[in-house]
Amino acid sequence: MNPADLQDLPEEVRAEIERPQAERADRLHGLATHIAKLRDEAVAARKESGIEATWHDCEEAYLGIDDLTRTDFRQLAFGRVFLPPLGCKLRLVLATPSFVPASVPV
């Protein structure tokens, strides 16, 4: 309903028409507050659990980062994507009967 239409109505009628809108806004604010509280609790629990450190360690292991190569990777890190050092030769292990590893330049 347009607010200009309500100006001609008596105050009691306007209040009765606007009451459900105000109640809905109050309920919506309460719901938003509750959801924000649950989100904050979840963030705190995730930090407390240590899962971020575990994921970081697993990601480094997957990428082949160890104590010797960590600085090389850190210098080339863009965001969370780790790139191997330039000119680095990656060793691919081929599943052959003779098991001869092959070096492939990047």
Q: Is the pLDDT of residue 37 over 90?
A: yes
Strand partners, 100: none
Shared domain for 87 and 100, answered yes or no, is yes
pTM of the model: 0.45
Average pLDDT across the chain, whole number: 76
Shared domain for 43 and 57, answered yes or no, is no
Strand partners, 102: 92
Which residue segment(s) compose the domain that 90 sits in?
A: 52-105
Q: How many domains does the chain have?
A: 2
What percentage of the chain exceeds 70 in pLDDT?
63
pLDDT tens sequence across 47-97: 899 988 898 888 888 888 888 877 776 655 544 555 555 555 555 444 444
Q: Is residue 76 a contact partner of residue 82, using CB atoms and an 8 Å limit?
A: yes
Shared domain for 83 and 71, answered yes or no, is yes
